[in-house]
Amino acid sequence: MATKIYDVSFANLVDGTEIRLTPLKLIYLRDFMEAFELVKEAGDDTEAVDRLAECARIAMQQYYPDIKTIEDLEDNVDMPTVYKIIDAAAGIKVKDQENDIKEQATESGSSWDDLDLAEIEAEIFLLGIWKDYEELERSMSMPEIIVTLGSKRDLDYQEKKFLAAIQGVDLDKNGGGGSQNKWEEMKARVFSGGQTGDPNDILSFQGTKAEQNGFGIGVGMSYEKIG
């Protein structure tokens, strides 16, 4: 059965140029999330929209590098497209409504604070594919990190299972887990709102926890103004 790590979408610039939108690589996502924190601190919604535009400008470093400044962005991208870029870049959904951008950002809870990215990157870096951490961050997005880390942990377990079997020990039978148990644990995390014993476990950033923190595949901010 075919699967995909993340969704790919497309948007059009004012002149009709089509750009391909995928989750941001970590090197851009860091700056994006720092800029998004400033949206929450905006004095009013006009300032919040300006700061949201800065988030989109950062994302354009990956999507369309010819757009380098806010002026370039304003000349080439309308606000609905900005919202689409924000969603594709980090899974943060901003509804196209007036006078509530800051409130949406504040309600989202999207932040780096609950994620030990350095520890996660260190584990991935041990694969030996990248010459340094900058190359890793230019190569990987959060969805790719999630899938790669899950596969790495599963391979590590299979190796331990093989070595244990040589010694006559069945890790699965003795509560060691395995692929099936890992899948069941992942489903349990989703149905329990993403709660696990380890707050830094990247696989726990699903469901409610992913929505609260803005991390996950296609998970982000959602807010509806009533009344």
Range with the poorest average pLDDT among 21-35, 54-68, 199-213: 199-213
Q: For residues 223 and 193, what is the distance between their CA atoms, to the nearest angstrom?
A: 18
Mean pLDDT of 136-160: 86
- In a domain, residue 68? The reply is yes
> Is the pLDDT at 227 greater than 80, yes or no?
no
pLDDT, mean of residues 182-210? 49
What six digits make up the tokens of 108? Answer: 């989202």
Count of domains forming the chain = 2
Q: Same structural domain for residues 173 and 90? A: no
Handedness of CA 17, 22, 28, 33 (dihedral sign): positive
Q: Is the pTM of this model over 0.75?
A: no
Note down the domain range covering 44: 9-108
The reply to whether 81 and 153 lie within a common domain is no
In a domain, 3, yes or no: no
Give tens-digit pLDDT for 62-117. 999 999 999 999 999 999 999 999 999 988 888 765 557 777 776 665 566 666 78
Interatomic CA distance for residues 117 and 199, integer angstroms: 12
Mean pLDDT rounded to a whole number for the chain: 77
15 & 104 share domain: yes
Residue 224 domain-assigned? no
**In a shared domain, residues 121 and 40:** no
What is the mean predicted confidence (pLDDT) over 36-46? 86
